[in-house]
Structure 1
Amino acid sequence: MKDNDFDIVIVGGGAVGITLALELDRLDYRVAVIERFQPTFSSSSPERVIALNYGSRCHLERLGVWDAVASQGVGDIRHIVVGESGNVGRVDLDAADGLGFAPNMQELGYVVEMGLLLQPMYELIASSSVELFSGATVQQFVVTDNGVELELQSAGQSTHLKAALLVGADGTHSQIRQMAGIGLFGWDYNRFGLVASVSCEKGHNDTAHECFRRSGPLAFLPLADDRFSIVWAAAPAEASQLLSMSDETFISALQRAAGDTTIDQIGNILSTSPRASYPLELSIAKQYAKPRIALVGNAAHTIHPVAGQGMNLGFRDVVSLVEMLDGELAHSDPGQPIIMQGYAEKRRADVMAVAGFTESMSHLFGSEVPGVKWLRGMGLEKLPLAPTLSGLLLKQASGVGQITPQRLEV
């Protein structure tokens, strides 16, 4: 095999792309990863964090990176409180209630700084057979019956690669998806997600709070140092105002938005980091795969952050693709149509279910129809009395409902 001939080339060196590379290396594929930027693991302010559920933790533990991630500090989510500012009723989810279907589960999820997640992954990559092309971009690629031929540009020089399968793991605005002619369906929410880190009088007590408001949800996610990372969905004009406020004025606005019930639990907000924002959108690829090409992570689907499921959905893409590539047929030709169609079929139901759930939550709590707010309050108040429905919500939040029992053994 020539030096630049690979079985699989992955474009995108984020958490999903690197996880996929590590999994495929263990299956003895010859893998290359192309990443536009040089990897960096430094912290930022506000911290760039992601929410991982227990199902994703099990995946990372099997991969051999979780202990290194956890040793650097993660925010544990043992409880989730869901409510609506100014409305009666709330839903409390507790990890202890899930022991019947996940005996080892002590947390529903975790809040992790992106750099702390990526660093141990890249350390594993360095000791693997995966070839990493950092600071490189794909100029063009051509799909043939036998594979994919790519031209890379790096430091002013061109490099040509060949592969049987090309995987786009390059994010929401995926270059690979666009170059492959795969369209999207979805929409812009006309909302921005404002992020910051805040400290509160009472700390977080391993509890995440989801506060629904008419203009969008406000989430408080526990960090390792007893602060919260917040994600506040706001209309463009409101988001612009929030970004330009003084810290004192912003804290006052945040406390009003959170509502008395949440503030009673976390105490007054004492300080805030600098703020940042990003646009919220729903975009789902019309095809998750074509012959010789597969999409994973945000390249395949970007959803509303209301339930914190984006990265978890991407890791389940990895699991499904690896399952399709783990076999004699796939090793003979990993990009063949039957493998790609099998992967797409595996992912379709899960992606649509999660997207549908986040959309329904967003629309339900954004409705201004008379009487709907009262019904929402009654629903939140009565949900704990419906154990079957509560159990389904708990499985969704923890991610254990979408993976096999064998993968929960950590």
Structure 2
Amino acid sequence: MTVSKRKQDFPILFQQVNDEPLVYLDNAASTHVPTPVINDLVTYMQTSHANVHRGVHTLAERATSQYEAARETVRTFIDASSVKEVLFTRGTTTGLNWVARSLGELVVEAGDKIVISRMEHHSNIVPWQELAKRKQAELIYIDLTEDGELDMADAKEKIVSGVKIVSIAHASNVLGVVNPVKDLAKLAHEVGAVMVVDGAQSTPHMTVSVQELDCDFYAFSGHKMCAPTGIGVLYGKQTWFEKMSPIEFGGEMINFVYDDYSTWAELPYKFEAGTPNISGAIALASAIKYLEEIGLDTITKHEQELVEYVLPKLLAIDGFELYGPRDASKHTGVIAFNIKGVHPHDLATALDMQGVAIRAGHHCAQPLLRYLDVHSTARASFYFYNTKEDADSLVESIIAAKEFFSDGFI
């Protein structure tokens, strides 16, 4: 089965929006869930749903078995060395906050430095801002090159002695660039810093090996990779998780509770307080198996072909302003842009009237947009179930919207 034929697994895509066929190009915000994943989720809910770990009855044991099997599926997917290094979270934001709160308290002191980049999502900015305030540390930003790539010369100047944490997006949710995480990790480790990676925009689209990247922490979300919302993963090297303290308490993370103190469960349960999102973890594992059946390298290639096909067509539109590299080979499936003279929210509304779903706004990256000197942008983002026909619809709808705002008809 070709990649584009996988679209048949997504009934939600076969509907009319404003009397037009839906063209869904908002995948950087959330992808859709295929029928096989939905079926696996329904089967679990209908046959095995129960709380995990402590029950001895059949349903509890069945649910526990599936939940822990999901953890192993994640482990192999990201090439972690042990299931003790895989924590289930609510998503990327939760994972990054856990690291900033727990690791931050452990390694950052007054006067230390935390390094991030200009292209980060708010979820990879605000937790570090708060840590810097708590610890009286300095938050430093790596600048970008003229075409929107990470400036590695600037990175080398800023990742120096006194830096305790470096936290960078593997791929930008606005500029569509992939950052050299392995090189950054090397720079970080040379000065004794910890390397944290926001993998929300990379994990769904490319093969990821946390061991090859040599990052210390890596967070990602299920809803951006064909799983439901509310489930995510935080990977961390076991040596760090063993040193770190949990930041949520109760339920599964407890070992013994005495009158005056408590002890924590072994990894990975030490950090997973309360009843976990069992169904979400099982659905995430199903989504991973679905993606692996297609092949992450195949997904990368398909998205690259779509960008190489559509980007020249978009750049040919008069007044089209691209944010990020003009070289299609340097792009993920994310394309952020503006049309001169048209507010991006107006453009997104006009495209929606033609059935084309894109996003408009600051994309939870206000510092980046200030750096680019724009208030907001439009953003189209492709996934493996998109086709060249979808790309053509994007181009045609932009041209029609541009004519409407110029001439008053669409």
TM-score above 0.5, yes or no: no
More helix by share: 2
TM-score by length of 2: 0.25
More strand by share: 1
TM-score by length of 1: 0.25
